[in-house]
A and B are shown apart, each in its own frame.
Chain A
């Protein structure tokens, strides 16, 4: 995967570069947003890691410029933690996802994968099938091996989100943001509790486990 990294802080950039190279990704680092935009226009990149605070040009402006120039490379924006406005602004400008600094590399990797795989204009799925699991998104029903699963609305949403990211790692904060819609990190083990309840219904009564815990990262469904 070709990743463009636009980040002015050399230490952060070096850290990201080294960590992502371990995943055999090809990282191009630009400390200057102008170089980054020029390179993005000229080459093929799967996604961009864009810092929100850049010299000369704001990250938001960079996204606007890219989108305005018809460059639709997925953008993951790095924002300050806890900032409510930053994220909304970033998404409105055309970024695909955001991540508060500081972050865990596992979180960055998971989000980059999700962002890079996202294809625009994908027709919304009406159902998912994974091994013997069937999920009817219209009727909001799930069954495994013909047995209907008795899921709460929240558990259904969780399963639905996991299936939308089949084969990808879904982190705890991704779930909090996308399934719960929370902009904060609760102290309590909210995600863990609901995931274990979901797994008790989806996996426990059956022979094969579909949902896996990815140590230090989050959860995944299906083979990565």
Chain B
């Protein structure tokens, strides 16, 4: 379930929040740097204007005295002191206010609201109609009187200030909650896609190995992850099924002969005075023991083969000679069983391999053909080179392997005959497969044949990988 607490812990959510926080912080930093800089720049321009005005004041005073000063700054119409109305006119004209005070700081001319100061000072004009402050600076003349120039702080400064303020609030009040929401929905989206995968994993871990992650078919990263997990589950299921088969195989194939041996030991105790009966029990117990040991041999050997260590000892093996030899040994067995073995082996085909194991591979396949073919069947072993590969074919002409069983025949302890009543321990073909794998040979049960026919494709020994 996508609860708030799980979402707040989600990586996507945390990343979205973190990236938004970084975005907001950086934006605020930019705004709070650029805004004041720009304001300072604007105010510097205004101060420059003030300085320019005040610079000429002493010269004008020296040349024309107080009258000259008043004339120069057009404190005209004999109204030397400005009224409120005058201020508005001045405002519309050039945004500059002037004041001229005597040594006692009484207003002589200009606007009575400006006070002399060495440094440009922002002062609020105590006037109900004026909402803008003034930057003012004064200059003292030799007789103690002062001239003060003031410039209204430009509208742009307030625009910038309000922009800085509003955008800061917007960033904090709108963007952050928006980020929270985006993070929430984004992570919930991811969460919901992932949840199907979690559910699959949970179902599988509870024992339903056939559960698979549903795919949307969009081919996005979640689909690919799901497909990957499904693939893994296929493999796990196959392996588990194999382990199950092995367990059942071990349980059945080992228990039955063990039980038989136990039974025979009982009988030996009972018939201890009857040597003929005892001898018979011993024979049967020994035969069971042999079949048990064969299972162990096969399992041990398979383990040994699967380590791949044998590959280091590979040598050139004349597969043709090997096939001929084994076929010669096995042909009488087919004859004794009223079956036949047809041999078609092309000469001198050589592979890199382990001749002991290749012998076992061929023998196992021939034994398979001998044991599981119909009465009076004709088996065959054929070896030939085609398309740069060496093909070994061993099989019979009936009854074959049921299509459903075909894909599982190489599994350990698997038997096409589920009742396990036929001969064999279900390890022969898995051993064959292990040996083929060790030799990097493809092995397949040929389709569309009347019998079970196995085809192996070996890389020929070119001798090219011999290190001189």
Closest partner residue, chain A, to B370 (CB atom):
A188
Cβ of A189 under 8 Å from chain B: yes
Cβ of A83 under 8 Å from chain B: yes
B276-295: CB near A (< 8 Å → 1, else 0) gives 00000011001000100110
Closest partner residue, chain A, to B335 (CB atom):
A193
Cβ of A190 under 8 Å from chain B: yes
Cβ of A139 under 8 Å from chain B: no
* Bound-state Cα–Cα, A181 to B423, Å: 25
Cβ of A216 under 8 Å from chain B: yes
Cβ of B301 under 8 Å from chain A: yes
Cβ of A104 under 8 Å from chain B: yes
B256-298: CB near A (< 8 Å → 1, else 0) gives 0000000000000000000000000011001000100110111
Cβ of B333 under 8 Å from chain A: yes
Interfacial chain B residues near A100, Cβ < 8 Å: 297
Supposing A190-B333, A193-B336 touch, asked if A216 and B367 sit within 8 A by C-beta, the answer is no
* Bound-state Cα–Cα, A186 to B329, Å: 12
Contact of A102 among B293, B310, B330, B354 (CB under 8 A): B293
Interfacial chain B residues near A153, Cβ < 8 Å: 328
Q: Do residues B332 and A194 form an inter-chain contact, with CB atoms below 8 A?
A: yes
Q: Do residues A184 and B360 form an inter-chain contact, with CB atoms below 8 A?
A: yes
Interfacial chain A residues near B363, Cβ < 8 Å: 182, 184, 186
Interfacial chain A residues near B354, Cβ < 8 Å: 84
Closest Cβ of chain A to B81, distance in Å, is 120
Closest Cβ of chain B to A142, distance in Å, is 18
* Bound-state Cα–Cα, A206 to B7, Å: 95
Interfacial chain A residues near B428, Cβ < 8 Å: 187
Closest Cβ of chain B to A152, distance in Å, is 7
* Bound-state Cα–Cα, A82 to B424, Å: 18
Cβ of A20 under 8 Å from chain B: no
Interfacial chain B residues near A186, Cβ < 8 Å: 363, 367
Q: Do residues B356 and A84 form an inter-chain contact, with CB atoms below 8 A?
A: yes
Cβ of A201 under 8 Å from chain B: no
Supposing A102-B293, A152-B328 touch, asked if A81 and B300 sit within 8 A by C-beta, the answer is yes
Q: Do residues A182 and B330 form an inter-chain contact, with CB atoms below 8 A?
A: no
Cβ of B304 under 8 Å from chain A: yes
Closest Cβ of chain A to B399, distance in Å, is 20
Supposing A181-B359, A182-B360, A183-B356 touch, asked if A83 and B332 sit within 8 A by C-beta, the answer is no
* Bound-state Cα–Cα, A197 to B328, Å: 13
Q: Do residues B332 and A193 form an inter-chain contact, with CB atoms below 8 A?
A: yes
Closest Cβ of chain A to B322, distance in Å, is 10
Interfacial chain A residues near B127, Cβ < 8 Å: none
B200-227: CB near A (< 8 Å → 1, else 0) gives 0000000000000000000000000000
Cβ of A25 under 8 Å from chain B: no
List which B346-366 residues lie within 8 A (CB) of chain A. 354, 356-357, 359-360, 363
* Bound-state Cα–Cα, A100 to B304, Å: 15
Closest Cβ of chain A to B156, distance in Å, is 92
B105-121: CB near A (< 8 Å → 1, else 0) gives 00000000000000000
Supposing A81-B296, A84-B356, A182-B363 touch, asked if A190 and B301 sit within 8 A by C-beta, the answer is no
Report the interface size for chain B: residues with CB under 8 A from the other chain.
Answer: 33
Cβ of B371 under 8 Å from chain A: yes
Cβ of B466 under 8 Å from chain A: no
* Bound-state Cα–Cα, A186 to B371, Å: 12
Cβ of B9 under 8 Å from chain A: no
Q: Do residues B304 and A104 form an inter-chain contact, with CB atoms below 8 A?
A: no
Cβ of A56 under 8 Å from chain B: no
Cβ of A185 under 8 Å from chain B: yes
Interfacial chain B residues near A189, Cβ < 8 Å: 333
Q: Do residues A184 and B301 form an inter-chain contact, with CB atoms below 8 A?
A: yes
* Bound-state Cα–Cα, A180 to B329, Å: 9
Q: Do residues A82 and B297 form an inter-chain contact, with CB atoms below 8 A?
A: yes
Q: Do residues B359 and A182 form an inter-chain contact, with CB atoms below 8 A?
A: yes
Q: Do residues A82 and B333 form an inter-chain contact, with CB atoms below 8 A?
A: no
Q: Do residues B359 and A104 form an inter-chain contact, with CB atoms below 8 A?
A: no
Interfacial chain B residues near A180, Cβ < 8 Å: 329
* Bound-state Cα–Cα, A82 to B330, Å: 22
Closest Cβ of chain A to B228, distance in Å, is 38
Q: Do residues B424 and A187 form an inter-chain contact, with CB atoms below 8 A?
A: yes
Q: Do residues B330 and A190 form an inter-chain contact, with CB atoms below 8 A?
A: yes
Closest partner residue, chain A, to B423 (CB atom):
A187
Q: Do residues B360 and A183 form an inter-chain contact, with CB atoms below 8 A?
A: yes
Cβ of A130 under 8 Å from chain B: no
Closest Cβ of chain B to A176, distance in Å, is 10
List which B318-350 residues lie within 8 A (CB) of chain A. 328-330, 332-333, 336
Q: Do residues B301 and A82 form an inter-chain contact, with CB atoms below 8 A?
A: yes
Cβ of A125 under 8 Å from chain B: no
Q: Do residues B286 and A216 form an inter-chain contact, with CB atoms below 8 A?
A: yes
Q: Do residues B310 and A82 form an inter-chain contact, with CB atoms below 8 A?
A: no
Cβ of A30 under 8 Å from chain B: no
* Bound-state Cα–Cα, A208 to B299, Å: 44
Q: Do residues A81 and B330 form an inter-chain contact, with CB atoms below 8 A?
A: no
Interfacial chain B residues near A61, Cβ < 8 Å: none
Cβ of A214 under 8 Å from chain B: no
Closest Cβ of chain A to B238, distance in Å, is 26
Cβ of A85 under 8 Å from chain B: yes
Supposing A83-B304, A84-B356, A193-B333 touch, asked if A184 and B328 sit within 8 A by C-beta, the answer is no
Supposing A186-B363, A187-B367 touch, asked if A82 and B329 sit within 8 A by C-beta, the answer is no
Cβ of A80 under 8 Å from chain B: yes
Q: Do residues B332 and A185 form an inter-chain contact, with CB atoms below 8 A?
A: no
Contact of B333 among A102, A188, A216 (CB under 8 A): A188
Closest Cβ of chain B to A158, distance in Å, is 11
Question: Besides the contacts A152-B328, A187-B424, what 13 more A-B pairs have beta carbons closer than 8 Å?
Answer: A81-B296, A83-B300, A100-B297, A153-B328, A154-B329, A182-B356, A184-B356, A184-B359, A187-B423, A188-B367, A188-B371, A190-B329, A193-B336
